[in-house]
Amino acid sequence: MKKLLNKVDDALADSLNGFGAAHRDLVSVNLEPRFVTRAGGTPKGKVALISGGGSGHEPLHAGFVGTGMLDAACPGEVFTSPTPDQMLAAAQAVEAPAGVLFIVKNYSGDVMNFEMAAEMMEGPNATVLTNDDVAVEDSLYTQGRRGVAGTIVVEKVVGAAAEAGADLAACKALGDRVNAASGTMGVALTSCTVPAAGKPTFDLGADEMEMGVGIHGEPGRRRVKIMAAKEIAAEMVEAIAAALEPKSTDPVILLVNGMGGTPLMELYVVYGAARRLCEDRGLKVARSLVGNYCTSLDMAGCSISLTKADDEILKLWDAPVHTAALRW
């Protein structure tokens, strides 16, 4: 295993220290317990958005803390849920009388621990559960669909609404609506390597790929021989479209997300194929995003996400955002 680390046990703390130093104008990092908040705190009267999950998916979620997105993020150890104490401490740190909205990816540990934190909170709170992965309905890690890259669209759109003054109930309803309008499917060309394990999570032959893989290396729909990028994109777009059933007149947000080990050159090849497939269906690709946003350590591969949009969602997507990983 070759990794740019000091000690494996210190990887997360060292990474958070570096992240905080690089973006101290945007975030404040607390190490005990671990959470990241907006520098300067949550604006007065604003609903605070808090998310989190295991590390190894950077920039998700700490990279999206800032104006127009999250107010706090709780990083767990690699591929491990953060603890309820982390979540509660983050909620207390954001000081949000208007309420706290937890955005939680659908993994058993995340769901359980965020529920415990919500129960311990004294102030108003609500939860949006993201479950956009159309590849499988159940896995060892979830009850139902997994929450993956579509979570980014939820955080951006709801973050803009909260920044504009939407109340807790409105933010919750919007988050549920965007999640229901989003679908994602991923593919792995290689496994990821968890530093503590020191070896690949699973084995793939030189001519194999895992179609429908999860962001922790969970099994996908099937293991197949390597295909051309346009064929990979076709299978993923078909699966997403079958789940979302978009109308031919629907505008969509198209996100092609890298898993951590795939060059942008290749991601744009996939994007070009995915966009053509959408347009062949009569869908209007109204907004696009290409890059590494919800990764799986060093895994080579990508995911495609589609979100059925409307004028409100597009306006909120276009609203200003200023975070370490996303800004316009």
Tens-digit pLDDT profile for residues 91-106: 999 989 999 999 999 9
For residue 108, is pLDDT > 60?
yes
The answer to the question of residue 39 being in a domain is yes
| Boundary (domain end) residue, out of 132, 158, 181 | 181
Distance of alpha carbon 134 from alpha carbon 256, whole angstroms: 15
Range of the structural domain that residue 246 is part of? 182-318
CATH number of domain containing 276? 3.30.1180.20
Average of per-residue pLDDT values in the chain = 95
Q: Which residues are catalytic?
A: 57, 216
CATH number of domain containing 124? 3.40.50.10440
The answer to the question of residue 81 being in a domain is yes
Helices (DSSP H) in the chain: which residue ranges? 11-22, 84-94, 108-120, 150-163, 168-180, 229-244, 264-280, 311-318
By DSSP bridging, strand 322-323 and strand 182-188 are unpaired
For residue 138, is pLDDT > 70?
no
Per-residue pLDDT band for 1 (boundaries 50, 70, 90) equals: confident
Query: Can you tell me whether residue 71 is helix, strand or coil?
Result: coil
For residue 137, is pLDDT > 80?
no
pLDDT of residue 144: 81
pTM of the predicted model over 0.75 = yes
Residues 131 and 228 in one domain: no
The Cα angle at residue 320 between residues 267 and 67, in degrees rounded to 5: 100
Residues 59 and 163 in one domain: yes
| Boundary (domain end) residue, out of 181, 210, 230 | 181
Per-residue pLDDT band for 50 (boundaries 50, 70, 90) equals: very high
pLDDT of residue 218: 87
For 223, the token pair is 């293991």
The answer to the question of residue 328 being in a domain is no
Sheet of 284-291: strands edge to edge? 222-225, 208-211, 182-188, 301-308, 251-258, 284-291
Side chain identity at residue 285, one-letter code: V
| Boundary (domain end) residue, out of 181, 214, 241 | 181
For residue 118, is pLDDT > 80?
yes
Distance of alpha carbon 194 from alpha carbon 315, whole angstroms: 39
Q: How many CA atoms lie within 13 A of 179 on its CB side?
A: 24
The answer to the question of residue 25 being in a domain is yes
For residue 194, is pLDDT > 80?
yes
The answer to the question of residue 221 being in a domain is yes
Per-residue pLDDT band for 307 (boundaries 50, 70, 90) equals: very high
> Please, what sign has the CA dihedral across residues 147, 218, 303, 69?
positive
Asked if residue 188 lies in contact with residue 209, where contact means CB atoms within 8 angstroms, the answer is yes
The answer to the question of residue 326 being in a domain is no
The answer to the question of residue 310 being in a domain is yes
